[in-house]
Structure 1
Amino acid sequence: MNEIEIIHNPFTVDTQFKINGQAPAAGCKLSSYKESRLQLWVERLFGELSDLFHGDNNFSIVFKGVESDFLDIQEAAQVVTTNGMQVELEWVETVPTEERLEQIRELMAEARKHPKFDQFIEDNDEVRQSIEEAFNRDFDVYVVATMSSGKSTLINAMLGRDLLPAANEATTATIARITDNDQKTEHFTAKRYNRSGQVVGHEYDVNLECLKEWNQLGDTQLIDIEGNITAIEERPSVRLVLTDTPGPNNSQDDEHQRTTMGFIQDSKRNPLILYVLNASQLSTNDDRNLLGLVAETMRKGGKQSKDRFIFVINKMDVFDPENGEDIPSVLERVNEYLTSNGIHNPLIYPVSANLTRLIRKPGDQHTRKERGDYKSMADLFSEEPSMDLLQYMPITSKVKRSLKEKKLSPLLSSSGLPAVEAMIDEYIDKYNFPHRLKRAYDAMNRAIEVGLNEAELIEQLDQNERQLEQLNEEIEALQQRQEKGFDTAAYKDKLEREGKTLPPETEKQLVELEATTDPVIRKLEARFDNKQETPVNIAEIRVQEAEEILQFHHKKLVNAYENLFNLTQEIIRKDLTADYQRYITDLFHESGLLELPILEGVRKAVSDISLNLAVKRDDIQEKQVVTGTREVKDSDWYNPFSWGRTKTVYEYGTETYVDLGALWEDRHMHIDMEFSKLVQNARDEIEAGKNRLTEQFVAFMTEEFELKFAELLNSLKEKITDREARGRAIAEARELHSWIKNFKAKLDSTLAV
């Protein structure tokens, strides 16, 4: 049997392979996976091993890493063993990720107590923001669905009370965000925000009637709710934020559909999406549009892009196996439906949210109808083995263990929803914790780098008088060179002459996005290429469907352009930082002719002066997020359009037929123009963002940098000329150096596997 050893570190994203005790050759495919996240290659692993051993498919695999990664190896192995491959698996356990995150949290508290090191964090906005984001406990789960899926019922089941209005009582026209807080066991608090982002309503103990009323008010943009989500246990390192998104076909605000689409398209944060489908009513236009977007998003990434979409098949209680409604056949139809929409091997979780809700709702609060429904469903699920929905779910051994530890009643377990809730916990452990841990580690390491540079610079002042005198002369020469300043005029002239063009990656994506529209329009055009006289009612349906498709594509493009704007800001910020480093190198070029190691320390210290473009970049981003809540000129740069849908009905309302070809001819030029306008507006916005960042860079170089540079050199000159001050500084630097080295060793150990 071929022995394979795999050590995977998901935090540093490093993998070590051994094949029968030997490291794989440089040209081996496995070697190319060394610096890739396991989820990007695990589904191909056994195929690669089979090729490597020329079809000898007997493997003994020892995996060392976190449990969630081992479960992915296990899942991949289960797939290939059904095809005859022999695989033995062994897991060498390592420290759980949540425990590591707590260790880093404790280290952060230790770092904050050191006044000097704390300053390294405070002085660098990018470091500080990264740390704050890494320790932000909130984890987003977005619930997405079309009408009649039972989405509100599902969320109420998770809350353990009837709080959100059901679709047949009040359409979900706003975004409701529910933050888990286990301290609030008796009530939920709520705030209502209007379109200007102002709090215009507050309830200490909110109820269903209040939320119905708020939901129907036209100026409601967001309802922010906080209370105990009973289905999820709040942990020290994470708390659930459950967002009820408006359905795309019942929103009173056109922007809400774009917001829902944005959650799906967010491949940077990769939030978890619960996509709720009605088991008894699968096919709708809205589902087809959204599922197409999901399929497109899933194709762009590795396993995480698939894992973050959980398809919850609700209302399974409407089927009765005694009447020939076979549950496996129902789920097969669901699988075929999703596959036909481009979603292959979906994670399907059949549930009865209503049964879960009624189990968790106190019996004395059941209505007469609910008592009847509960008895009927309880009998069905208890007496019919095929209604135990847990048996159809693709859950891991970890989720099974978690459900067993909760000691759920057989009826509650068979309702299916508790397994979905356990899957949320697994996703957090598998993806959210490692990402946060690495982000915190990288931010702390940046602060360490700055601290070590400063400590080593001061330590190098322990020199003889001649060397100090020479250093003092060079510092004065540096000051004189710098006093000439950053040549703002020359830099601007260079920009005007050469231009700071958009990054090639941005240009490539702009071209790709622009090319997505023509196929959509051409496909629609074929539906209007009808030489026959078309009945008015059929023409109206064609026009309505065409507009829905075009509006959906338009919103998808708006989100894609905004994501590209943010990506471009990151690239340009790095480019400007490189400009800054080149300027520092040029400034120290003549100093490099002197053999003074301390000058390298000065150069590093100057390089560590933070541009702080991250904060300003975020300020810019806020202007680009189109929420309709800010009175800024460019908040609606994308200019949503309507291409005359209301005219279509009335223009031909008294005729017996419609010439679809003529209708399309009348409309398609306007459609092309609107999409061309969107492309140009997006380009203009990205270009403007680039220019703003460049202007901020110039402002920094002509204002802040001069002060910080002078402060550093004056501090050094003082220590050179004042022996007593120099001695104190060197002693403090050595103490700081020792503390940082010890701290870094402890920090590194948190990521070790």
Structure 2
Amino acid sequence: MNRIQITHNPFTVDTAFLINDEAPAHGCKLSSYKESRLQLWVEKLFDELSDLFNGDNRFHVVFTGVESDFLDIQEAAGAAIAKGMQVELEWVQTVPTEQRLEQIRALMAEAREHPRFDQFIEDNAEVRQSIEEAFNRDFDVYVVATMSSGKSTLINAMLGRDLLPAANEATTATIARITDNDQMTEQFTAKRYDRSGQLVGQESNVDLECLKQWNQLSDTQLIDIEGNIVAIREREDVRLVLTDTPGPNNSQDEEHQRTTMGFIQDSKRNPLILYVLNASQLGTNDDRNLLGLVAETMRKGGKQSKDRFIFVINKMDVFDPENGENIPSVLARVTQYLISNGIHNPLVYPVSANLTRLIRKPSDQHTRKERGEFSVMADMFHEEPSMNMLQYMPITSRVHRTLQDKRYSDLLLSSGLPAVEAMIDEHIDKYNFPHRLKRAYDAISRAIDVGLNEAALIEQLQQDERTLAHLNEEIMGLQQRQEKGFDTAAYRDKLEREGKDLPRETELELAELEAEMGPVIRQLETRFTQQDVTVSIAEMRIKEAEEILQFHHRKLMNQYEAAYRSSQDIIRNDLHAEYQRYIAEIFQNTESLKLPILESLLKAASDISFNLSVNPDDIQEKRVVTGKREVSDSSWWNPFSWGSTKTVHEYSTENFVDLEKLWKERITRIEAEFSRLVDNARKEIEVGKERLVEQYVAFMNREFDLKFAELLSFLQAKVNDRKARELAITEAKELRAWINCFKAKLDSTLAV
């Protein structure tokens, strides 16, 4: 057999391949995967190997890496075997990611105890922010669903109590965020926030009735709940934050609809989405719109973009095999429905959330109706083998082990929901931990680089008197140049006068977004080609078109906000590169001296931190939509409510509607509304760019001169004072030794 050795490091995102004990040739496809995350190429691996060996499909694969990545190799091997390939797998286990995060947390505490190194962290806002985000324990799971899917029942089942109102009791128009806290075993606390973000209500022991009342108050924006989510184990390094999102078809709050869509579109944070479908009721327009958005998001990324969508098929208890309702056929129909909406190879998990809820709810709290429901479901799931939902689920061996360790009853396992809960745990280990670990590593490494640069600069003061005299002359020259401004006045004036163009990547992204609505509008136009149709058909066509246009309008708003954020990152990086070029120009005239210390001085100047960032208040100010504006009989926030009632009245006496004319009368308004969205978005992106440039110029005007002068003054004092110089050199050597030892321990946390 062909021996394939793969060593994958998910933290440094580095892969080493050996093919029959030799490295693959430079032009080999496998070589191009060296610096790519495994999930981006694992599904193509065995096809690539087949091509490489000209159809010789016998492979013995030795994989060295973490378990979650090996499970992906295992899944790909299973698909290859199904195609007729012969595959043997061997796994060389490495340190689990959770254990590595513990190691790096301990190192972080050690770094904070070193007064000098702690200062390198405190002085750099970007480093501080990255470390805070890396050690933020919260892991977001968003529950998304359309009407009648049993979403509230599913969340209550995970909580182990009836807390959230069911949709038929109080339509969910607010966002409910539930943070897991295993210490709170008896009650849940809750806080209610209004649309301005103000706390307007709180309960130390919240119940269903209270949440119903809060949910019905028109000013409620967010309900923040904390308590024990019994289904999920809270770990030291992670706690679940379960968010119940408003349905996208909920007309009470369009901003909330857009928020729900934004969770799906968020390909930067990649939050986990539980998309709940009603097994007995597929095919609503709302589902089709939302699933189209999911499909588009899944296509843009690799395996992670697919893995973060878990399709939970709820209400499986409504089917009765004794009445000829075949469960595999039901699931095949659901899978085909998802495929028809552009979602290929979906992860489908059939469940009865109501059965799980009633099992976990104390029996003495069951209502009479619930006692009857539970008795019927328990009998059916116990006696009918095909009702064991676990057998239909694409779960890994690791999830199987997790479920065995929990020692659940057979009835609870057959309800299906515990497997979904175990999948959440696996997703955390597979994606969340490695990302956080690498972020913490990169942030601490940045502080290490600054510290080593400073130590190297001071150590190089250990020169002979002649060299020190030359160095002193150069420092004095730099000071004189600084006093004259390094020609910075002209540089700043030029930057303020000319500004900066939008990055090319942003321009391309904006061009793509501007072209996005054309095909949608042309497709809609085909539904309005008839001249004489009944009023009811006209009403239906208008309603469908309005829903599609509103959906795409909100989708575009989210895409423009994402474009704004990405443009900020690009511009910030561009300004940082500009700053590095500027520092290099300052030192151009010192190159003839060839003193290594001047190179270290240049690095030290480059390390001066300027924090170009947009704070949360700025983000709130940046809105593509800035309020309400009346347009005919529709408002800006609902630009496509064309006054369909009015339209019906116009034509009701003649009992027909000219659809073609109707469309022509409205297409101008439709295109104008989308054009205005495009214009507003571009303006806001330009404003954001200008704000960053202004911050950069302000930094150059205020902070840089001061910090650079301090650096030169510090060096000059040490050059002219032997004792101070010798003490500084001794301290720098000690600092370098400590940092090198610390760096070795840090590097070991990421080694595979």
Q: Same fold (TM over 0.5)?
A: yes
TM-score, L = length of structure 2:
0.97
- Any stretches of 5+ residues in structure 2 without a counterpart? 628-634
The aligned amino acid for 2:84 is G
CA contact (8 A) 2:63 2:70 kept: yes
CA contact (8 A) 1:643 1:667 kept: no
The aligned amino acid for 1:117 is F
Shift of 1:628: 8.8
Match 1:641 to one of 625, 639, 657 = 639
Tell me, in whole angstroms, the C-alpha distance in 1 between the residues paired with 2:541 and 2:588: 69
Matched residue, 1:739: 738
Matched residue, 1:727: 726
Tell me, in whole angstroms, the C-alpha distance in 2 between the residues paired with 1:231 and 1:320: 27
**Does 460-469 or 121-130 show the bigger shift?**
460-469
Secondary structure, counterpart of 2:750 in structure 1: coil
CA contact (8 A) 2:356 2:417 kept: yes
Secondary structure, counterpart of 2:61 in structure 1: strand
Secondary structure, counterpart of 2:281 in structure 1: coil
Q: Alignment RMSD, CA only? A: 1.6
Tell me, in whole angstroms, the C-alpha distance in 1 between the residues paired with 2:625 and 2:359: 38
Matched residue, 1:87: 87
Shift of 1:649: 3.2
Shift of 1:479: 1.3
Shift of 1:167: 0.6
**Does 265-274 or 597-606 show the bigger shift?**
597-606
Q: How does 1:617-632 map to 2 (within 5 A)?
A: 620-624=618-622
- Deviation sequence 1:530-550 (CA, Å, 0-9, x none): 13x111111111101101100
The aligned amino acid for 2:722 is R
Matched residue, 1:661: 660
The aligned amino acid for 1:620 is D
Tell me, in whole angstroms, the C-alpha distance in 2 between the residues paired with 1:36 and 1:619: 36
Q: How does 1:325-344 map to 2 (within 5 A)?
A: 325-344=325-344
Shift of 1:570: 0.4
Matched, 1:575 2:574: yes
Matched residue, 1:372: 372
- Deviation sequence 1:453-498 (CA, Å, 0-9, x none): 0011111111222222221121111011122226565335534776
CA contact (8 A) 2:65 2:92 kept: yes
Matched residue, 2:229: 229
Shift of 1:77: 0.6
Secondary structure, counterpart of 1:49 in structure 2: helix
Matched residue, 1:273: 273
CA contact (8 A) 1:160 1:360 kept: yes
- Deviation sequence 1:40-60 (CA, Å, 0-9, x none): 000000000001111111111
Shift of 1:638: 8.9
Residues 585 and 332 of structure 1: CA distance in aligned 2, closer, same or farther (over 3 Å): same
- Any stretches of 5+ residues in structure 1 without a counterpart? 630-636
Residues 92 and 428 of structure 1: CA distance in aligned 2, closer, same or farther (over 3 Å): same
Secondary structure, counterpart of 2:605 in structure 1: helix
Residues 353 and 187 of structure 1: CA distance in aligned 2, closer, same or farther (over 3 Å): same
Tell me, in whole angstroms, the C-alpha distance in 1 between the residues paired with 2:320 and 2:126: 57
Matched residue, 1:632: none
CA contact (8 A) 2:624 2:680 kept: no
CA contact (8 A) 2:152 2:166 kept: yes
Tell me, in whole angstroms, the C-alpha distance in 2 between the residues paired with 1:198 and 1:50: 60
Shift of 1:399: 0.4
TM-score, L = length of structure 1:
0.97
Secondary structure, counterpart of 2:560 in structure 1: helix
- Deviation sequence 1:496-530 (CA, Å, 0-9, x none): 77651111111111111111101111111110111
Matched, 1:46 2:46: yes
- Deviation sequence 1:183-204 (CA, Å, 0-9, x none): 1110000000001100000100
Shift of 1:692: 0.7
Q: How does 1:491-570 map to 2 (within 5 A)?
A: 491=491, 493-495=493-495, 499-531=499-531, 533-570=532-569
The aligned amino acid for 2:621 is K
Matched residue, 1:633: none
CA contact (8 A) 2:499 2:690 kept: no
Tell me, in whole angstroms, the C-alpha distance in 2 between the residues paired with 1:275 and 1:344: 15
Matched residue, 2:345: 345
Q: How does 1:356-435 map to 2 (within 5 A)?
A: 356-435=356-435
**Does 135-144 or 457-466 show the bigger shift?**
457-466
The aligned amino acid for 1:40 is L
Tell me, in whole angstroms, the C-alpha distance in 2 between the residues paired with 1:411 and 1:713: 74
The aligned amino acid for 2:480 is Q
Task: State the identity %.
Answer: 75
Shift of 1:621: 2.9
Residues 177 and 379 of structure 1: CA distance in aligned 2, closer, same or farther (over 3 Å): same
Q: How does 1:295-334 map to 2 (within 5 A)?
A: 295-334=295-334
Residues 628 and 259 of structure 1: CA distance in aligned 2, closer, same or farther (over 3 Å): farther
Matched residue, 1:31: 31
Secondary structure, counterpart of 1:652 in structure 2: helix
CA contact (8 A) 1:638 1:681 kept: no
The aligned amino acid for 1:529 is T
- Deviation sequence 1:387-410 (CA, Å, 0-9, x none): 000000000000001001100000
Secondary structure, counterpart of 2:310 in structure 1: strand
The aligned amino acid for 1:577 is H
Matched residue, 2:632: none
CA contact (8 A) 1:175 1:222 kept: yes
CA contact (8 A) 1:5 1:17 kept: yes
CA contact (8 A) 1:13 1:37 kept: yes
Secondary structure, counterpart of 1:191 in structure 2: strand
CA contact (8 A) 1:617 1:693 kept: no
Secondary structure, counterpart of 2:80 in structure 1: helix
Matched residue, 2:117: 117
Secondary structure, counterpart of 1:703 in structure 2: helix
CA contact (8 A) 1:141 1:272 kept: yes
Q: How does 1:9-158 map to 2 (within 5 A)?
A: 9-158=9-158
